[in-house]
Amino acid sequence: MERERTSRWRGERLSASTPAPGSGWDRVEATTARPLFRPAPRSAMVFPLVVLVAVLPGLMALQAWDLTPPGPLWGLRGLDVLDGRVLDQVPAAAAIAPAQEAAAYRMVAFQPPLYAWLEAVLFWLESDRDPMASVLPSYVAGGLAVILVYLHGRLWRGAGLGLIAAILVALNQNLLLRMQEATPATLALCAVLAVLLAYGWHERIIGEGLQPPAWAGPIATSIAGGLAMGLAMLSVGGLPLIVVPIILLHRFYLRAGRPPEAGSRARRWRWLARPWLAWHDHPCGIDGLIAIVTAIVVAMPWYLMMARAHGWQVIAAMAAPPERLVADFARTLPGRLVELAPVTLPMGLVGAVRAIRAALVDEEESRESVGGAFWVIWLVIAALVPGAWPRGPQAAFDLVLVVPLSLLAAQTVADLVNRRMPVRDLVWLAPATALSVAWWTSADLRGAVDDVANGRADAATALGLHLAVDLIVVSVILIRAVAHWARRRDDRQRGVIATFLAAVLVISAVDGMLEVVFRHGIDRDLLALRTMILRRNRDRPFDVVAVVSPSGGDAEIDRADAGPRATAGQFTEGASPGGRLRFILRTALPELPQRDLSDIAGLFRLPEGQRLVILSGTRQHLVGTDRFRLGLESIHPGRIGILDAYATAREPPRSSVVRAEGF
């Protein structure tokens, strides 16, 4: 009975849902049901991972940001922009008493202003002018550079390779180091990557005959590339010129691989006779002209204004960037490559060789071969430019070189994952990687090779070279045994490849993370001093700020803080151009000018009021008698006599006054 009732109910429901004949619903054709939301492509699923890769390592690096010179000088320049000197900050050097520090600031003030403008915006948003605002543009530009690296890989080889390249660049110690410093190196890298990305997309549109929307068409990409070029010129003056030989050589490669078209001579004469046909016959040339004009319109006004105000000093200052004041970049090309990418260098070189082979063999000019040739040309130009311009912005050159090396290394990783490379290639690839890492980590090995090259070999040199040879031999024997073990088993081959790639990823991550946990001890002292000054100024505002530095500026600070990253010749005797203390005082007390004194006797000539006295870079101490006479009390004990800070004491007891007068 219950079963009949259920079947009758189901039948009534079915008949009720069936359209009646002649009602019009029976004439509706059956169609395939479409989903509510269109499925997202794989690239859209990968992009959130790329954003995390770009943000997280840099965020850890931001927690360990430091005041490495010339970063504080850039911070001072940003504060001067905020105070009203928007276009020209060079006159602010007149307020700096130490001659060498003033000269260093002038050198920074002659550089392109985009980074200082961004700093000024962030200082304006921060109510208390937090010093970290000076490094935020560098961090944001570094994250954007990682995303642009992913877009480069996706443009030519797909989203998977772009993700691998983004991971390798995001974990690179050089990028993380620059993201911790207030310098325009990452900003210039971001602009250069944008220029080359616009060119790559434009080449794909022209070469493959794509039909993109108007906002991504050839004219739009030309304007975007020109805008990025102009911003790069406003970041680091001569660096954007590196894209010119890269693009020209890639255009030459593309033209050399294509057969001459019939009637090219007639079209050439027709173009000379009718210039308005140039867009049809030479679209790349016209688009390049549009990009150049856009870059000139964006960047040239500031250069013309500075040249009119200061003459040839602008060109002379940009020929020697401020980073030359504190670092020595005299390195050979092999040592430079190992230092930039110690783990992925062998894979990058393998990727370059395979890209060259594919470009020579491929006659159809596939997207992969064209992109690989573009990366190889980029790598060669970026490696040769520092030798041709030895006084150029070497830090920015290093970052520009890291990107194509990482893209080619990611191509090798993709070939290993997709089994386009046999496992037997690891017999020499793995030992080469181990030797590169050993060369980077062992100063003894580098010293032994240098001794042999200069004829200074001894027992220690022989021992170092013997260990290096042993490492190579053991690596080759071990990898050959593993390759023989996995020769006939596909599952074992996959395990070998996975183990090698996991080891490369772990070592790269450790290399990057070791950089982000480092921090100068003097930076903590400076920030603690700033906190104490703000706290004391809130209770009793200061009227006078005086810094006693008989040795000149931050020289003693630099020598006290010469940590693991200090190299030979990095910290020199005499006055230092660091400007760290001046930057901290400007952020803490922006309304009070700093008075630079050469000895303690100058403190007795200060006007009455609430005084802040800091002993910086001096081995002289403020003895108790002088402290009582000046009415000062200690508010921050410095390290080994450096950064000792004193402030006007609260009303002392009468007994203390009597004892001081009696003495």
pLDDT digits (tens, 9 = 90+) for 122-147: 999 887 888 888 999 999 999 999 99
Q: What is the CA radius of gyration of the chain?
A: 32
Question: 23 in a domain, yes or no?
Answer: no
The answer to whether residues 349 and 232 belong to one domain is: yes
pTM across the whole model: 0.82
* Mean pLDDT on 454-475: 66
Q: Is 57:176 a contact under the CB 8 Å cutoff?
A: yes
d(CA 82, CA 89): 10
Mean pLDDT of 88-109: 85
Is the model's pLDDT at 43 over the cut of 70? no
Say if 635 falls within a structural domain. Answer: yes
Looking at the fold, whether 431 and 494 belong to one and the same domain comes out as yes
Same domain, 455 and 558: no
Q: Taking residues 2-10, report their average pLDDT.
A: 47
Q: What's the 3-state SS for 251-317? A: HHHHHHCCCCCCCHHHHHHHHHHCHHHHHHHCHHHHHHHHHHHHHHHHHHHHHHHHHHHHCCHHHHH
In this structure, the answer to whether residues 428 and 350 fall within a common structural domain is: no
Single residue among 417, 438, 467 that ends a domain in this structure: 417
In angstroms, rounded to a whole number, what is the distance separating the alpha carbons of residues 75 and 68?
11
Model confidence at 189, in pLDDT bands (50, 70, 90)? very high
> Who has greater pLDDT, 651 or 422?
422
Same domain, 487 and 526: no
Looking at the fold, whether 509 and 589 belong to one and the same domain comes out as: no
Backbone φ and ψ for 213, nearest 5 degrees, come out as: -65, 170
Average pLDDT (417-424) is: 82
Q: What per-residue confidence (pLDDT) applies to 435? A: 80
- Structure-token pair, residue 324: 């030359």
407 and 438 inside one domain = no
The parent domain of residue 550 ranges over 521-662
Q: In this structure, are 543 and 649 located in the same domain?
A: yes
On whether the CB atoms of residues 592 and 610 are closer than 8 A, the answer is no
**Is 244 found in the same domain as 141?**
yes
Look at residue 536 and tell me if it is in a domain.
Answer: yes
Q: Is the pLDDT of residue 338 over 80?
A: yes
Q: Give the integer Cα–Cα distance in Å for 546 and 615.
A: 9
Using CB atoms within 10 Å of the CB of residue 73, give its burial: 0 to 12 exposed, 13 to 18 middle, 19+ buried.
buried
Residue 552 phi, psi dihedral angles, 5° rounding? 95, 100
Task: Tell me the average pLDDT across 332-353.
Answer: 87
**Of all helices (H) and strands (E), which one includes residue 595?**
strand 594-597
Encoded tokens for 427: 């017999």
Q: Measure the CA dihedral 143/146/147/152, to 10°.
A: 160
485 & 439 share domain? yes
DSSP state of 620: -
Start-end of H helices in 209-282? 218-233, 243-256, 264-273, 278-281
User: Is residue 656 in some structural domain?
Assistant: yes
Are residues 279 and 388 located together in one domain of the fold? yes
Size (the chain), residues: 663
Which distant-in-sequence residues (6+ apart) come within 8 Å of 264 by Cβ? none
Measured CA to CA, the distance from residue 136 to residue 186 in angstroms comes to: 11
Q: Nearest-CA neighbor of 165 among 414, 537, 475, 431?
A: 414
The C-alpha atoms of residue 168 and residue 152 are separated, in whole angstroms, by 14
**Three-state DSSP class for residue 541:** coil
What are 597-644's pLDDT values in tens digits?
888 888 888 888 888 888 876 566 777 787 888 888 888 787 655 778
Residue 152 reports pLDDT greater than 90:
yes
Name the band, by pLDDT with cuts 50, 70 and 90, for residue 259.
Answer: low
Are residues 339 and 446 both part of a single domain?
A: no
Q: pLDDT (tens digit, 9 = 90+) per residue, 549-588? A: 765 555 445 544 444 343 333 333 333 456 888 899 888 8
How many folded domains does the chain comprise? 3
Q: Supply the pLDDT for residue 448.
A: 63
Q: Which of 389, 417, 445 is the last residue of a domain?
A: 417
Strands 632-636 and 644-648: what pairing? antiparallel
Q: Cβ atoms within 10 A of the Cβ of 2, count?
A: 6
- Is pLDDT of 445 > 60? yes
